[in-house]
Amino acid sequence: MTQPGTMPAMTKEMQDCVDACMTCHSVCEETMSSVMQLGGQAQMQVMRALMDCAETTRVCADMMMRRSPLSPEMCAMCAKACEMCAEACLSVPDDPQMTRCAEACRRCAATCRAMAGATM
Amino acid sequence: MTQPGTMPAMTKEMQDCVDACMTCHSVCEETMSSVMQLGGQAQMQVMRALMDCAETTRVCADMMMRRSPLSPEMCAMCAKACEMCAEACLSVPDDPQMTRCAEACRRCAATCRAMAGATM
Amino acid sequence: MTQPGTMPAMTKEMQDCVDACMTCHSVCEETMSSVMQLGGQAQMQVMRALMDCAETTRVCADMMMRRSPLSPEMCAMCAKACEMCAEACLSVPDDPQMTRCAEACRRCAATCRAMAGATM
Amino acid sequence: MTQPGTMPAMTKEMQDCVDACMTCHSVCEETMSSVMQLGGQAQMQVMRALMDCAETTRVCADMMMRRSPLSPEMCAMCAKACEMCAEACLSVPDDPQMTRCAEACRRCAATCRAMAGATM
State whether residue C7 is helix, strand or coil: coil
Nearest CA in chain B to D36: B4
Half-sphere exposure of B52 (CA within 13 A, CB side): 34
Number of domains in chain D: 1
Q: Which domain range does residue D103 map to?
A: 12-30+43-116
Please report whether residue B5 resides in a domain. Answer: no
Inter-chain residue contact D7 with B33, CB threshold 8 Å: yes
The pLDDT, as a whole number, for residue A10 is 83
Q: Which of B96, B98, B94, B110 is nearest to B46 (CA)?
A: B98
Query: Over 60: is that where the pLDDT of C1 sits?
Result: no
Q: Please check whether residue D107 is in contact with residue D20, taking contact to mean a CB–CB distance below 8 angstroms.
A: yes
The pLDDT, as a whole number, for residue A9 is 77
Please report whether residue B36 resides in a domain. Answer: no
CB-based contacts of D21: which residues, under 8 Å, 6+ apart?
Answer: D57, D58, D60, D61, D64, D78, D108, D111, D112
Residue range C5-38, pLDDT digits in tens: 446 678 999 999 999 999 999 999 999 988 877 7
Please report whether residue D67 resides in a domain. Answer: yes
Which residues of chain D are within 8 Å of residue A81 when distances are taken between CB atoms?
70
Please report whether residue C71 resides in a domain. Answer: yes
Question: Which residue positions in chain A have pLDDT lower than 50?
Answer: 1-6, 120
Element (H, E) at A81: helix A71-90
CA distance A63 to chain C (A): 9
Q: Which of B19, B27, B9, B22 is nearest to B98 (CA)?
A: B27
Give chain C's end-to-end CA distance (angstroms, integer): 12
- CATH at residue D100: 1.20.1270.360
Q: Which of A68, A22, A2 is nearest to D81 (CA)?
A: A68
The pLDDT, as a whole number, for residue C27 is 95
At A91, which amino acid appears?
Answer: S
Residue range D90-99, pLDDT digits in tens: 999 889 999 9
Inter-chain residue contact C45 with B1, CB threshold 8 Å: yes
Q: How far is CA C74 from the centre of its chain?
A: 10
Please report whether residue C77 resides in a domain. Answer: yes
Q: What phi and psi, each to the nearest 5 degrees, are found at residue B2?
A: -60, 130
The pLDDT, as a whole number, for residue B118 is 67
Per-residue buried b or exposed e for C23-59, using 16+ beta carbons within 10 Å of the residue's own CB: bbbbbbbbbbbbbbbbbeeebbbbbbbbbbbbbbbbb
Nearest CA in chain C to B7: C45
Q: List the single residue in B1, B59, B88 with the smallest CB-CB distance to C55.
A: B59
Round the CA-based radius of gyration of chain C to a whole number and report it: 15
Give chain A's end-to-end CA distance (angstroms, integer): 12
Residues of A (22-41) whose Cβ lies below 8 Å from C? 22, 26, 29-30, 32-33, 37, 39
Nearest CA in chain B to D5: B37
The pLDDT, as a whole number, for residue A118 is 67
Residue range B17-70, pLDDT digits in tens: 999 999 999 999 999 888 877 777 778 889 999 999 999 999 999 999 988 999
Please report whether residue C36 resides in a domain. Answer: no
The pLDDT, as a whole number, for residue A97 is 93
CA distance D96 to chain A (A): 23
Residue D47 touches chain C, beta carbons under 8 Å: yes
Residue range B93-105, pLDDT digits in tens: 889 999 999 999 9
Residue A47 touches chain B, beta carbons under 8 Å: yes
The pLDDT, as a whole number, for residue C7 is 60
Residue range D33-88, pLDDT digits in tens: 888 777 777 788 899 999 999 999 999 999 999 889 999 999 999 999 999 999 99
Residue range B54-68, pLDDT digits in tens: 999 999 999 999 889
Inter-chain residue contact A4 with D44, CB threshold 8 Å: yes
Q: Mark out the alpha helices in C39-120 (DSSP H runs).
A: 41-65, 71-90, 96-117
Highest mean pLDDT among A94-98, B77-81, C89-93: B77-81
Please report whether residue C80 resides in a domain. Answer: yes
The pLDDT, as a whole number, for residue C38 is 79
The pLDDT, as a whole number, for residue A3 is 42
The pLDDT, as a whole number, for residue A2 is 38
The pLDDT, as a whole number, for residue D72 is 94
Sign of the four-CA dihedral A93, A96, A100, A101: negative
Inter-chain residue contact A69 with D84, CB threshold 8 Å: yes
Please report whether residue D49 resides in a domain. Answer: yes
